[in-house]
């Protein structure tokens, strides 16, 4: 279901380009023939995610914090994708101030640029705007059930503020905006230790460590493979409406189901250990993607086992690379090298 390339490739700014989704988006934009200006301050992104693009003639990477004035060359971009906010719970709960600023001030910087240059801006928001929902599945018309002062508020409310700012610039100043709400996305280039359940389970399973399940494991999420997510973002950017639109997989799965699949696909004999559910952790999360189907012709295509298998192979390769690197230093045997502490 790949979206056809636009009639004329664009000069595109990608904020958060070294992140998980951002780096995959850069790949696809370059395949389309676009010129890409990639910005990332590397606070939660990883420059290795875009290292393979460094010599591409249409790709330029600039280390930059979008809460600061934007580089001059950003004014040449006709389209802007804003993914510049940490999505890892482990990171944003350690850095709440930076998280709020990246959402609110970062969105303002990019919206000002779009107003000045006439660029179209797609802001990547999140299902976290729905909080711990009381309506299932969640449609774009649901206002959410969010704790504005809880441990997740820096991310949840930062994203809600950015959405409000986008629509304010659209209504008052005529900026062409698009709003995407991503549900749990997974795939290669997730970072070990980032607190996301797919990467946590895979790393633990491959290392033979117990899989940490929070609560009773019956809370649900919907898992969308990154290729499908990027396809939805490209379709929305090209579409003639602003959204917001949910991009996620409507198949709701429990944490226990996910753990069992990871154990089966890795061949791991790890056991499950249960820990208390973190504060404000949603008990159910599942998108209504009716709008995406109708307006974008979009729906996820990658089956869960296929996507998990590709992700597991990525982490196997990452483990082997880390093991070889540490073994070459002569300090630790490869069998003990599976910590990913520096990744």
Residues annotated catalytic, as ranges: 155
Query: Structure tokens of 178?
Result: 């698009």
Burial group, residue 223, by CB count within 10 angstroms (0-12, 13-18, 19+): buried
**What is the spatial distance between Cα 251 and Cα 220, in angstroms, rounded to a whole number?**
10
**What is the spatial distance between Cα 197 and Cα 343, in angstroms, rounded to a whole number?**
17
Pairing verdict, β 220-222 and 252-254: antiparallel
Length of the chain: 343
CA nearest 186: which of 132, 235, 222? 222
Pairing verdict, β 79-82 and 11-15: parallel
**What is the spatial distance between Cα 66 and Cα 182, in angstroms, rounded to a whole number?**
21
**What is the spatial distance between Cα 33 and Cα 316, in angstroms, rounded to a whole number?**
32
Q: Is the distance from CB of 230 to CB of 21 less than 8 angstroms? A: yes
Query: Structure tokens of 337?
Result: 């090298």
Q: Is the distance from CB of 232 to CB of 180 less than 8 angstroms? A: yes
């Amino acid at each position: 279901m790949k979206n056809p390339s636009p009639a004329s490739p664009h000069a595109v700014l990608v904020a958060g380009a070294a992140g998980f989704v951002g780096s995959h988006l850069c790949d696809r934009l370059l395949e389309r023939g676009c010129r890409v200006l990639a910005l990332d301050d590397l606070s939660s992104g990883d420059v290795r995610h875009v290292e393979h693009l460094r010599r591409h003639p249409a790709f330029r990477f600039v280390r930059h914090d979008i809460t600061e004035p934007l580089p001059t060359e950003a004014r040449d971009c006709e389209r802007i994708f804003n993914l510049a906010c940490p999505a890892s719970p482990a990171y944003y709960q350690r850095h709440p101030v930076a998280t709020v600023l990246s959402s609110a001030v970062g969105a303002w910087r990019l919206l000002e640029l779009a107003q000045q240059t006439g660029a179209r801006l797609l802001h990547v928001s999140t299902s976290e705007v729905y909080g711990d929902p009381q309506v299932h599945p969640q449609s774009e018309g649901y206002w959410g059930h969010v704790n504005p002062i809880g441990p997740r508020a820096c991310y949840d409310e930062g994203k809600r503020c950015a959405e409000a700012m986008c629509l304010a610039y659209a209504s008052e100043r005529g900026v062409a905006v698009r709003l995407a709400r991503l549900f749990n996305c997974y795939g290669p280039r997730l970072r070990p230790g980032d607190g996301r359940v797919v990467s946590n389970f895979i790393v633990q399973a491959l290392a033979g460590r117990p899989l940490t399940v929070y609560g009773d494991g019956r809370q649900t999420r919907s898992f969308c493979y990154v290729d499908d997510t990027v396809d939805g973002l490209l379709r929305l950017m090209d579409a003639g409406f602003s959204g917001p639109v949910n991009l996620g997989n409507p198949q709701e799965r429990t944490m226990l189901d996910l753990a069992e699949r990871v154990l089966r696909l890795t061949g791991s004999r790890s056991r499950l250990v249960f820990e208390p559910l973190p504060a404000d952790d949603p008990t159910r999360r599942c998108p209504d993607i009716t709008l995406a189907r109708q307006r974008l012709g979009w729906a996820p295509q990658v089956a869960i086992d296929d996507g998990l298998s590709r992700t597991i192979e990525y982490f196997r390769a990452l483990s082997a690379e880390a093991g070889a690197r540490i073994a070459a230093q002569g300090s630790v045997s490869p069998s003990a090298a599976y910590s990913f502490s520096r990744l």
